[in-house]
Amino acid sequence: MSHTKGKLYVISGPSGTGKGTICSILTKDPKNEFSVSMTTRAPRPGEENGREYWFVSKEEFLENVEMGNFLEYAEVFDNYYGTPKDMVLKRLERGHNVILDIDVQGGLQVRKAMPEAVLIFILPPTLTELRSRLEGRKTETRDIIEKRLSKAVNEIRLIGEYDYLIVNDDRDVAAAKAASIMTAEDCRVPDKVRSLIREYEQQQKGE
């Protein structure tokens, strides 16, 4: 079959809900590529530049904004985060699915810029469980955890803007649901079916 473009997936949900965990399961499939965002946040212990994020200064980030290098960007928890546009477009062109782990403000910007993107929201089973996941991750101070928890309900209010909702109770079940959504999206009748029909016509001629 002829070359088809990959699909863009946005994964959002409150901090600590398990977005990173699900993305790392999904990207075990080589067809799915994680988009590494640029951020002004400091790296956490164990994070590597270019793997979890591109860690840059505020000046460098704002230069990239000026140059129009982001598909979307937002200020989240007092830091800037943005999705490098070229990398995403190149990968989609090569036929790879691209997965963005971004906040709801970013998700809504992507929806406007690329309406064909598929938006998936990951909910924690309860807010108490969300707190215990954030505390258990041991990557943020108590103050920052409180800040992240206080934003959770505001984000949850925007679920209606998303296409799919997954409650991350068991991580493997949640990742399997996300993979099933991707499989279903692969089987969606494409908007531009004409090229597919032409391909079958050519195959028929060749028979």
Residues that bind ligand 5GP (CB under 6 A): 15, 19, 37, 41, 72-74, 76-77, 81-83, 101-103, 105-106
Residue 6 binds ligand ADP, judged by CB under 6 A: no
Joined together, the tokens standing for residue 148 give: 């992240």
Please give the Cα distance from 10 to 171 (Å, whole number): 18
Query: Taking the complex as a whole, how short is the minimal distance between the CB of residue 53 and ligand ADP, in angstroms?
Result: 12
Please give the Cα distance from 155 to 164 (Å, whole number): 15
Query: Taking the complex as a whole, how short is the minimal distance between the CB of residue 93 and ligand ADP, in angstroms?
Result: 27
The DSSP code for 49 is B
Selected binder of ligand ADP within 6, 9, 16, 110 (CB under 6 A): 16
Selected binder of ligand ADP within 29, 161, 170, 186 (CB under 6 A): 170
Joined together, the tokens standing for residue 96 give: 């790879």
Query: Taking the complex as a whole, how short is the minimal distance between the CB of residue 171 and ligand ADP, in angstroms?
Result: 4
Please give the Cα distance from 177 to 160 (Å, whole number): 19
Selected binder of ligand ADP within 6, 10, 17, 178 (CB under 6 A): 17
Q: Reading across the β-sheet that carries 164-167, which strands appear in turn?
A: 32-34, 97-101, 8-12, 118-123, 164-167
Residue 42 half-sphere exposure toward CB, CA atoms < 13 A: 4
Segment 68-127, which members bind ligand ADP (CB under 6 A)? none
Joined together, the tokens standing for residue 11 give: 């994964």
Partner touching 105 among ligand ADP, ligand 5GP, none, CB below 5 to 8 Å by kind: ligand 5GP
> Which residue ranges make up the site for ligand ADP (CB under 6 A)?
13, 15-21, 133, 136-137, 168, 170-171, 174
